[in-house]
Amino acid sequence: METTLLLNTSLLLTLTILLTPIMLPPMLKNFQNSPTSITRTVKTAFLTSLIPATTFIYSGVESITSYWEWKFIMNFKIPMSLKMDQYSMVFLPIALFVTWSILQFATWYMASEPYITKFFTYLLTFLIAMLTLTIANNMFLLFMGWEGVGIMSFLLIGWWQGRAEANTAALQAVMYNRIGDIGLILSMAWLASTLNTWEIQQTLHPQQTPTLPLLGLILAATGKSAQFGLHPWLPAAMEGPTPVSALLHSSTMVVAGIFLLIRTHPMMATNNTALTICLCLGALSTLFAATCALTQNDIKKIIAFSTSSQLGLMMVTIGLNLPQLAFLHISTHAFFKAMLFLCSGSIIHSLNGEQDIRKMGGLQKTLPTTTSCLTIGNLALMGTPFLAGFYSKDLIIESLNTSHLNAWALLLTLLATSFTATYSLRMTLLVQTGFNRTSPITPMNENNPSIINPITRLAMGSIMAGLLITSLITPTKTPTMTMPFITKTAAILVTILGITMAIELSNMTHTLTYPKQNPLTNFSSSLGFFNPLMHRLFSTNLLHKGQKIASHLIDLSWYKKMGPEGLANLQLMASKTVTSTHTGLIKTYLGSFTFSILMIILSSY
Amino acid sequence: MSLFHLSFYSAFTLSSLGLAFHRTHLISALLCLEGMMLSMYIALSIWPVENQTPSFTMVPVLMLAFSACEAGTGLAMLVASTRTHGSDHLHNFNLLQC
């Protein structure tokens, strides 16, 4: 059987199915989109995308297909090429599965939205851009997907555009992404000028790749995947509706930066500087985000910070020279993070818009399915043995412990792992257990199949995905099999430590046993003071400099003091002093006349 | 220098000092000016006698003609300034203003 033909054909079929809701309405006369039709489209596309995935798992076939070639200039060609390797093959069904569940959930969540079809079309456009990014073999096609997801993120975060916070959050997202784009364009320019290609398989350098393009790629990943330094947009992006947060800012868009680094990994494998930068940056991001999540009270913000922390962990894995493991973490993370967001969406709607966990409690009895899946998701996030998160997270921590690296990065990552357990458990305890702190009358009802089915589907995925993916895909680098006992159980131990801390912490929240403010909680709840420092400092500095140069230096100094007016002032001062002596009286005049005549006459003797 | 020369040197100097330091009336300045002219006439008259050059004998007469014009001009200005300023008191006069 021609496996490559089957592969390419089924992939093209998947993409065409996804494009139908966008292509058909302009072409056919009475064709209207609807939320259910778009959901059905994505479901069909998911089922179709299982064909290339199973083909790959069965036979290991990979292919690069080049379509239409754009002859840019004489010797620089840009083919539109699609790469089907293990990363795109496995990511495609996962992304489509998660999107299908989210769209089904969104038919309930956004049911009262007047422009619901436009919302679904936006989500579909985003999905297409993300998939373009994933299967692109050419940096140009990848850049198109990259920009596409950035723009759709902007449009979707600011969906409720009457809200000022939503607009500022969308603008923040676009600006931080743009700073990352500078790095991507830098790398593309370097590639075009040095290697004369934008094809990824041609970028492998025989010796060590110079650090400059790699720095550009790392900057791009920092911007898109919210690493420390360009991170504030991710918590702010929670202003968008929950399906947007679930799709973009947990499973798909934010992993685009990490995915870029995975794709271009052969370039980075030999350059130790770039790898160390990735490692340290990832360790810093994961710890910072986990620290900030400890004292957050908004349920969506906690999940956003946990996403940020896991992205830092993925960056650490890249820095360890293990792209396959990072990809595994992306895949498993998509399941439980999307599920966490959907559960939080269900809770928010059931409590009529309440997002503060201090005003939730005892929901285990009233929302049983949602809260059970929330627990499953949190356990998977913490790395509970044999759930989905365990396969990727534990492997990462083990590799960290057994490789030659920066001890500081290792310490930070372990600390962040324990914090992960802490904030997850805090969220679980405050939301589900204890006394009911919500308002008395709530429209609590989760009996709709549009809620139950997606969440339970994703829960099954969270439980089984890790096992499935690790048993079906062979690793290219052998993981370390033997290590001391403490090293092997390091992840579990720090998680248990975090759990103990969490129980203590959540007790403190409503029994008032400690003073409300101390420097550490202040640091954590104000997100490390990064936002006011960076946002105010830079702009104030720049504007002051501008004022100094334009107004003070040029207008006031040169034109007023030194130039024309200054000269005039000098003359004025001199003439004012002298004018008082010019009286115009004849007597003085004649007296000075005589005086000078006398002087002249006397001096000649 | 001889006593004769001293007389008209001192007459000239005293008249010029008088011109510079006159106190109230402009007419006293004009009189001093006439005194300067007189001493100059005498000096110019003595000069051809001392230097034995008869061709310079006409010079004092020329000078007298010019000094007459000048005296006339001075008197006309005195009358004009008295008409505009009301008197010929000197502290009313200002070079900067007519």
Q: Indicate yes or no: CB of A594 within 8 angstroms of CB of B20.
A: yes
Among A148-152, A365-369, A417-421, A584-588, which stretch is predicted with the lowest mean pLDDT? A584-588
Q: List A585's β-bridge partners, or say none.
A: B94
pLDDT for A24 equals 87
Residue boundaries of the structural domains of chain B: 3-92
Does residue B98 belong to the interface with chain A, where contact is any CB pair within 8 Å? no
Give me the phi and psi of A440, to 5 degrees please: -65, -40
Residue B98: pLDDT band by 50, 70, 90 thresholds?
low
Question: How many residues are present in chain A?
Answer: 605
Contact A586 B95 (CB under 8 A): yes
Nearest to A597 by CA among B87, B79, B21, B26: B21
Per-residue confidence (pLDDT) for residue A582, from 0 to 100: 74
With a CB cutoff of 8 Å and minimum separation 6, the contacts of A419 are A287, A290, A291, A293, A294, A309, A498
B97: closest CA of chain A, how far (Å)? 8
Taking the C-alpha atoms of residue A219 and residue A230, their distance in angstroms, rounded to an integer, is: 9
Inform me whether the pLDDT recorded for A506 exceeds 80. no
**Best of B95, B96, B97, B98 to disrupt the A interface by mutation (most A CBs within 10 Å)?**
B95
Residues of B in contact with A582 (CB under 8 A): 96
CATH number of B3-92: 1.10.287.3510
The Cα–Cα gap between B75 and A277 comes to 105
Minimal CA separation from B9 to chain A, in Å: 13
Q: Give the HSE-up count for residue B79: Cα atoms under 13 Å, Cβ half-sphere.
A: 5
Q: Closest Cα of chain B to A593: distance in Å?
A: 8
A586 has a chain B CB within 8 A of its CB: yes
| Rounded Cα distance, A176 and A213, in Å | 19
Instruction: Count CB pairs under 8 A between chains A and B.
Output: 27
Question: Residue A69: enclosing H or E segment and its boundaries?
Answer: strand A63-73
Rounded to the nearest integer, the mean pLDDT of chain B is 87
pLDDT digits over A168-208, tens only? Answer: 999 999 999 999 999 999 999 998 888 888 888 888 776 77
Which residue of B25, B93, B98 to mutate against A (max A Cβ within 10 Å)? B93
pLDDT given at position A519: 83
User: Contact B95/A597, CB-based, under 8 Å?
Assistant: no
Per-residue pLDDT tens over the stretch A380-415: 999 888 888 888 999 999 888 888 888 899 999 999
Angstrom distance (rounded) from CA A299 to CA A374: 12
- Nearest CA of chain A to the CA of B17: how many Å? 7
Q: Is the pLDDT assigned to residue B91 strictly greater than 70?
A: no
In A169-243, where do the E strands start and end?
none
Phi and psi angles of residue A356, each rounded to the nearest 5 degrees, phi first? -90, 125
CA gap B15, B9 in Å, rounded: 10
Ordered by start, the domain boundaries in chain A are 1-352+367-513
Does any CB of chain A come closer than 8 Å to the CB of residue B93? yes
- Predicted confidence band at A605 (pLDDT cuts at 50, 70, 90)? confident
Which residues, in sequence order, are CB contacts of A141 under 8 Å at separation 6+? A80, A81, A82, A132
Interatomic CA distance for residues A259 and A255, integer angstroms: 6
Residue A581 contacts B where some CB pair is shorter than 8 Å: no
pLDDT at position B40: 94
Assess whether pLDDT exceeds 60 at residue B96.
no
Minimal-distance CA residue of chain A relative to B19: A590
d(CA A20, CA A193): 38
The reply to whether residue A583 touches residue B94, judged by beta carbons under 8 angstroms, is yes
Which is more confident, A420 or A554?
Answer: A420
Of A584, A591, A597, nearest to B95 by CB-CB distance is A584
Query: pLDDT of A345-359, one tens digit each?
Result: 999 999 988 888 888
Q: What is the enclosing helix (H) or strand (E) of A77? A: strand A76-84
Kindly list the residues from chain B whose CB atom is less than 8 angstroms away from the CB atom of residue A581: none
Find, in chain A, the residue whose alpha carbon is nearest to that of B95.
A584
| Bridge partners, B97 (sequence order) | B94
The confidence band for B90, taking pLDDT boundaries of 50, 70 and 90, is: low
Check residue B97 and give its pLDDT: 64
Q: How far is A605 from chain B (nearest CA, A)?
A: 14
Q: Model's pTM, two decimal places?
A: 0.78
pLDDT band at residue A29, thresholds of 50, 70 and 90? confident
**Which residue is it, tokens 């929330």?**
A374
Phi then psi dihedrals of residue A383, to 5 deg? 90, 35
